[in-house]
Every structure is written in structure tokens, then in C-alpha cells.
Amino acid sequence: MLLGPTRPLRAQDRGTAPLPPPPGAPTQAARIELDLDPNTSEAHVQALPADSSVVVLLGRPNRPGGRETLFAFQQYDRDLHLRTERAVDVPDEFSFARICAEPRIVYALFSSTRVPGRFLVAAYDAQGGQVLTQVFDTKTVRNVVDLKAMDGHLFATVTLNDGQHLTALLLDVATGRLQFLSSVYEQLPTQLSFVADATAGRAEYVLTQTNGRKSRLQLKQLTDRGQLVSSEYVQAQSDRSLITAQLSPPQDTSTRLLTGTYSLRDPGYAQGLFATDLSAAAWGSRR
């Protein structure tokens, strides 16, 4: 007798009809297939909740076997019907790095493969269909590890050429000006998470800081122009180390939650979850 792995009986094996999906199960209301070669093309999708449209940044080779990539923004409506397509002039030295959006603008960031610290930003206006590009020469930035948009500005979390520090960069896409945020300058392996609150005009950072034995969190709130508004430390009253955390979305105004992971011994390994209320009513009784 041969023994092998067993498998559960399927509906066809039992001679019965498949079970219906549970209530509220997601359905595929629309579908579109793009004629792209996965070996030579790329597609980056950004949803716009304001009007339920989808913007796709496509990168396709200029010619078969060529190394030059042609980029274009394609915008689809909620039923995935093509609404607009706009070409983006991206020189051959740049490769795609990050994409993000605010309510009606989609931003794509490209990094130079020739000049370290040089970036190109392409901004697509989902209402008017126009595309604006800007080149930024930072000179000291190595990599962009996160990108968020707020009020026409980009907040980029970046590592520096020294390989030892992490900081934040404010990019003004309309004017081409850049600004390093001196209030966010940390020694690696510090981690940053970021939330953009456009309604309040605030940028909120959560920093993870450790001495190798115990770690804590620091919250920093900045204006949409990068000025520091407030700074606060969050640490557990016991021997627990708070490792990583994220803020709840700013749209949820009933509570302001900070949630993340903690450890009892080695801050490199998470052993549980924590949550704390950051709303004004919780001041003085925060747990």
C-alpha cells in the first residue's frame, strides 16, 4: 500500500453543488486586462477614493529589445473604462521608485541611476489631466523608503549617503524647492511611520528608538510646511519595549489610536500587540 498526502474532499468529489459565498463576500464587478509583457513592462496602481477612479502608471519599452522605457498615466473610472491617458517625459537615467496620491493628484517618484540623490517627480492631475514634472537634486540622499502627499507637497522618508541616518525631506512639486526637515533626523536602525492629516494641515511621524536593550516611541507633529509643532515620548510603564507603531487614519476623528507591537526581552522580536488612545480626552489618563 502506498501512502501519500491527503487532501480535503471537494464539492465535485462529494457529488454536491459548491457552497454559496458567505453574505458580504467581495465580488468582481469589473475587470480589465492590459496587454503588457511582464518581462519588459511595469504597472503601478493608485486608487483615488474621492471619485472611485484608478490611475495606473505604465512603463513600456520604447521598442522591442530596447532599454528605454516610455511612461504614461492611464486613468480609469469605477467600471474600469479608460478615461484619460497622458504620456510622461521620463529621461532614460530614471527608474521608478514610489507612487502616492492625495485626493485628486497622483505622484510618481523616479530615482536616477547615474547621479546619486537626484529624483524626478511626475504629478498627474486626475481632474484636469495635466502632468507636471520636477527634478530634485538632494546630493546627500541614498534611498527613499516612504512617500506621502499633502497639499501639493511630498514628505519623503529617506536614508542618507553616510548609511547611518534616516531623515525626512519636503518636496514642493509646484516650485521645485526641497527642504530637509531638521526635526526628523535619526540614527539607524530607527524606523519611521507617517500619517498625513490634510484637514488639520499636520504631518505626524512615529519614530522607533532603541538602545539595544529597550525601545520606545516618539511622536512628532509637523505643519504641512515642515515646522515642528509638538513632540512626545510614549513608553510602557513596565519592562515592555514598544517596537513599532502606526497612527490610526486622520479621518477617524472619534479616537486617535496608536497601535503597534511590543517585546518583553529582545526588542528585535515582537511578542504582543498594544494600543493607546492619543485623543485629547485621554491626556492624564493614558494607558
Residue 287 scores a pLDDT above 70: no
Between CA 106 and CA 71 the distance in angstroms is 14
Q: Are 175 and 223 in a shared domain?
A: no
- Better-scored residue on pLDDT, 189 or 241: 241
pLDDT grade for 2, boundaries at 50, 70 and 90: very low
**How do residues 112-151 score in pLDDT, each as one tens digit?**
999 999 999 999 999 989 999 999 999 889 999 889 998 8
Query: Are both 89 and 111 inside the same structural domain?
Result: yes
178 with 195, same domain: the answer is no
Same domain, residue pair 208 and 272:
yes
Examine the domain organization and report whether 178 and 211 are in the same domain: no
pLDDT tens digit sequence for 60-111: 987 766 667 899 999 999 999 999 999 999 999 999 999 999 989 999 999 9
Interatomic CA distance for residues 169 and 144, integer angstroms: 9
Q: Are residues 105 and 208 in the same domain?
A: no
From 141, 157, 188, the end of a domain falls on: 188
Residue 76, pLDDT score: 95
Sign of CA dihedral 91, 100, 139, 187: negative
Residue-range definition of the domain harbouring residue 156: 36-188
Task: Flag whether pLDDT at 193 surpasses 60.
Answer: yes
9 domain-assigned? no
pLDDT at 215 over 50: yes
211 & 267 share domain: yes
Question: Grid coordinates standing for 273?
Answer: 500587540
More confident residue, 230 or 123: 123
Assess if residue 58 is contained within a domain: yes
| Predicted local confidence at residue 35, as pLDDT | 86
Instruction: Report the alpha-carbon distance of residue 94 to residue 69 in Å, rounded.
Output: 9
What's residue 12's pLDDT?
52
The domain that holds 119 is classified in CATH as: 2.120.10.10
Question: Structurally, how many domains does the chain consist of?
Answer: 2
pLDDT tens per residue, range 25-44: 888 888 888 888 888 899 99
Give me the chain's average pLDDT, please: 83
- Higher pLDDT among residues 242 and 57, named by residue: 57
Residues 108 and 137 both lie in one domain? yes
Q: Do both 115 and 176 map to the same domain? A: yes
Percent of the residues in the chain that have a pLDDT greater than 70, as a whole number: 86
> Residue 114 falls within a domain, yes or no?
yes
Note whether residue 215 is domain-resident. Answer: yes
pLDDT confidence of residue 91: 92
Residues 93 and 230 occupy one common structural domain: no
How far is it, in rounded angstroms, from Cα 110 to Cα 96?
A: 4
How far apart CA 198 and CA 201 sit, in angstroms, is 5
Residues 140 and 249 in one domain: no
- Do 55 and 159 fall within a single domain? yes
